[in-house]
Amino acid sequence: MDDAGVDGRRSVGRDDGIASGDDAVDPPAAFRDRAVANDVGVYEAFETEGPDAWRRAADLLDWVSDYDRVLDDGDPPFYEWFTGGTLNAAANCVDRHLDERRNQLAIRWFGKRGERRSYTYLDLHREVNALAAGLRDLGVEEDDVVTLYLPMVPELPIAMLACARIGAPHNVVFAGLSAEALATRIDAADSEYLITCDGYYRREDAFNQKSKADNARLRIDGDLDATVVVDRLGDALDVTLGGDEHGYEAIVDAHDGATVEPVARNATDLLFVMYTSGTTGRPKGVEHATGGYLAHVAWTTRNVLDVRPDDTYWCAADIGWITGHSYGVYGPLATGTTTVLYEGSPDYPDRDRVWDLIERNAVSIFYTSPTAIRSFMKWGAEYPDSHDLSSLRLLGTVGESITPKAWRWYREHVGGGDAPIVDTWWQTETGAIALATLPGVSPMKPGKVGPPLPGIDARVVDEDGEPVDPGEPGFLTIASPWPGMLRGLREGDERYRREYWLEAEDGWRYRTGDGATVDEDGYVTILGRVDDVINVRAHRFNTGKLESVIVGADGVTEAAVVGDDGGKIVAYVTTRSGIEPDAALRETIGERLAASVGDVARPDRIVFTPELPKTRSGKIMRRLLEDIARGDEFGDISALRNPEVVGEIESAVRNG
């Protein structure tokens, strides 16, 4: 029984779950031949040169003044990258492309109502400058934090770049979060400026975002100096602006044609702060530095996602999540490519919306999350199958483990059967991709993220910090600094050190908080957050393992397993559309767990629910499901994307 997941220390999956056998898949030769990275020598270069090898990443950027040192590691764990160098992130994403491609599309935007807007690099330059000038007029100075509370409209990346241009760090808050969550993040970031909008569409309905912002304003400790309001809804929603509130369009019009000299920022200066998803605890304010972050993001955009200027690239993540920052805005724009920005939902007006957009735009690289792929699978292959997706040459996934079943579906129905898939592991804190295959170099293994990238010293270790044997579960740690790493936490140095770092005999170790195994080839399989372990019936179960067994049952799309206070196992399960959960399915789930893990793992309760509670990045909030199972008061659920499901789940638990 041990090797099958009980005990949480041994949870290598089986063929129905995460990380099946060694079915390595080679990248197609045609892809390899033209890939940005197609030489295995890059690994050796990083190995022999050490941190200096990261010059390659810095070389992808324009520097105002060159750096003196690649890495200053004199005061661990406070590492500084590219010290002495100065640069501006907005100039790197916009200005430097003007010579070569001012009339190339930078952003193609698709709105919820079928609207379209396109921005060339020249358009982007004009509007970023106008807004930057306007923000300055409102009093925004270098190092003032500006909070952005906007849906997926072009004004969001434009505002990020305008802030970066004047050296004002941004603090993006996912638009779907509550007034309370916004207030907490404004206070925690000491932010006195806000950019929001009148509202946005949710399906057919105009939804009032401004009233949420107003509500937040009543709750904050300090006060806001100025608020800028984008008019997203036009006549559909009229908002009255107070004395310190300004229309975005009026500001941009008034400053149209202005130029603002990009502020030369130190490489170590703050580019932005981002509050983490908070699936397990209170959100933390992660700080990213300008130089290291942008260099690492640019390098991985090219070498892992293989993005080039002539691509049309689509990262479907919300900009309110780190993935949208790094690979929806900074990475593609620093690379000078054309990027798709989509405001709507994937199933509106129909369930083929994503495939329709890929076909229409001849998207060549598509990057999304397993949670989205699970929805696509749930809706059925007929939707992608009815579109010409032959423009796609590379697919990516991020955010959670992808099961081999979903990996194969993605490749078959979206990737034309042969597109390489990069399964990218990283975190808000790592800033950029840290583990993944280089798609033109290494074979892929469905369900495994792959080896650490060149220059990333990731290790899977036991409690004593010793490397575990292949297949044995351990803790994923990173043993040397990397350029995209957080420079600190808003909550201070002490919290930063305590939260992430361990001092070992031979140096400092960054703790990712994830459990993992590694195979003979050095490919890593992520088992989930180490906190996601339940202790019932004198056993430690890895919830991710139990969930992958449940999801293997026909008709099941998602599952979350928690323990209640009476020592019982509760499984929350969603089913594919058209599949009515019944007694037979309950029986199947119980049988599968008994067969694969042991009788001891049979759930005491199976609660069928239409949806699971998720954060903006699609991660299931297990802690809330545990509170519901226990009848406890809820902890901080401000990071929840779909709070409306909470009531439904509670009544399913009570009546089920």
- Binding residues for ligand 6R9 (CB under 6 A): 276-277, 322-323, 398-401, 423-428, 449, 512-514, 526, 529, 617
Q: Cα(162)–Cα(152) distance, rounded to whole angstroms?
A: 16
CB of 522 to ligand 6R9, least distance (A): 16
Distance of closest approach, residue 397 Cβ to ligand 6R9, in angstroms? 6
Q: For residues 356 and 348, give the distance between their C-alpha atoms in angstroms, rounded to a whole number.
A: 11
CA atoms within 13 A on the CB side of 490: 23
Find the shortest distance in angstroms from Cβ 538 to ligand 6R9: 27
Tell me whether residue 276 or residue 337 sits nearer to ligand 6R9 (CB atom): 276
| Cα 546 from chain centre | 24
> How far is the C-alpha of 488 from the C-alpha of 509, rounded, in Å?
15
Question: Residue type for 245, please?
Answer: E
Cα 150 to Cα 525: distance, rounded to the nearest angstrom: 35
Question: From CA 533, how far away is CA 511, in angstroms rounded?
Answer: 17
Q: Please, what is the minimum distance in Å from the beta carbon of residue 399 to ligand 6R9?
A: 4
Cα 65 to Cα 191, 266, 291, 482, 590: the distances in Å are 29, 9, 12, 21, 63
Largest CA distance in the chain: 70
Cβ pair 377, 406 in contact under 8 A:
yes
Least distance from C-beta 432 to ligand 6R9, angstroms?
Answer: 9
Name the one residue in this structure whose structure tokens are 């040169």: 49
Identity of the residue, 335 or 437, whose beta carbon is nearer to ligand 6R9 in the bound complex: 437
What's the rounded Cα separation, in Å, for the pair 67 and 620?
Answer: 42
Q: In this complex, which beta carbon is closest to ligand 6R9, that of residue 266 or of residue 277?
A: 277
Nearer to ligand 6R9 among residue 427 and residue 596 (C-beta)? 427
Pick 268 or 427: Cβ nearer ligand 6R9: 427
CB of 514 to ligand 6R9, least distance (A): 5
Q: How many residues does the chain have?
A: 656
Straight-line distance from the first to the last Cα atom of the chain, in angstroms, rounded to the nearest whole number: 30
Pairing of strands 556-563, 338-342: unpaired
Q: Whose Cβ is closer to ligand 6R9: residue 71's or residue 449's?
A: 449
Smallest separation, CB 427 to ligand 6R9 (Å): 4
Least distance in angstroms from the C-beta of 4 to ligand 6R9: 20
DSSP of 226-284:
EEEEE-SSGGG------TTEEEHHHHHHHTTT---PPP-EETTSEEEEEE---SSSS--
Residue (148 or 194) nearer to ligand 6R9, CB: 148
Question: Minimum distance between the CB of residue 532 and ligand 6R9, rounded to whole angstroms?
Answer: 9
Considering the complex, what minimum distance in angstroms separates the CB of residue 617 from ligand 6R9? Answer: 4
Sort 206 into a burial class: Cβ within 10 Å, 0-12 / 13-18 / 19+: middle
Coil, helix or strand for 420?
coil
Q: How far is the CB of 423 from ligand 6R9 (least distance, A)?
A: 5
- The identity of residue 457, as a single letter, is D
The secondary structure element, H or E, covering residue 295 is helix 290-303
The two three-digit tokens of residue 493, written as one number: 């140095």
Q: Which one, 198 or 532, has the nearer CB to ligand 6R9?
A: 532
Cβ nearer to ligand 6R9, comparing 217 with 529: 529
Nearer to ligand 6R9, 167 or 320 (CB): 320
Residue whose CB is less far from ligand 6R9, 171 or 361: 171
Query: Cα-Cα-Cα-Cα dihedral of 121, 127, 133, 135, to 10°?
Result: -120
Which C-beta is closer to ligand 6R9: that of 276 or that of 364? Answer: 276
Residues contacting 395, CB < 8 A, separation 6+? 365, 366, 367, 410, 411, 414, 415, 419, 420, 421, 422
- Residue 523 C-beta: closest distance to ligand 6R9, Å: 12
Q: Residue 634 has what DSSP assignment?
A: P
CB of 317 to ligand 6R9, least distance (A): 8
As measured in angstroms, the least distance from the Cβ of 533 to ligand 6R9 is 13
- How far is Cα 655 from Cα 607, in angstroms, rounded to an integer? 10
Instruction: Give whole-number Cα distances, 506 to 480, 509, 513, 518, in Å.
Output: 11, 9, 20, 22
Angle at 633 between CA 627 and CA 634, to 5 degrees: 65
If the CB atoms of residues 86 and 427 are measured against ligand 6R9, the closer one turns out to be: 427
Q: Between 134 and 544, name the residue whose CB sits nearer to ligand 6R9.
A: 544
Closest distance between ligand 6R9 and the C-beta of residue 16, in Å? Answer: 18
* C-alpha to C-alpha distance for 536 and 338, rounded to whole angstroms: 51
Residue whose CB is less far from ligand 6R9, 111 or 473: 473
Q: How many C-beta atoms lie closer than 10 Å to residue 52's C-beta?
A: 14
> Under DSSP, is residue 81 helix (H, G, I), strand (E, B) or coil?
strand
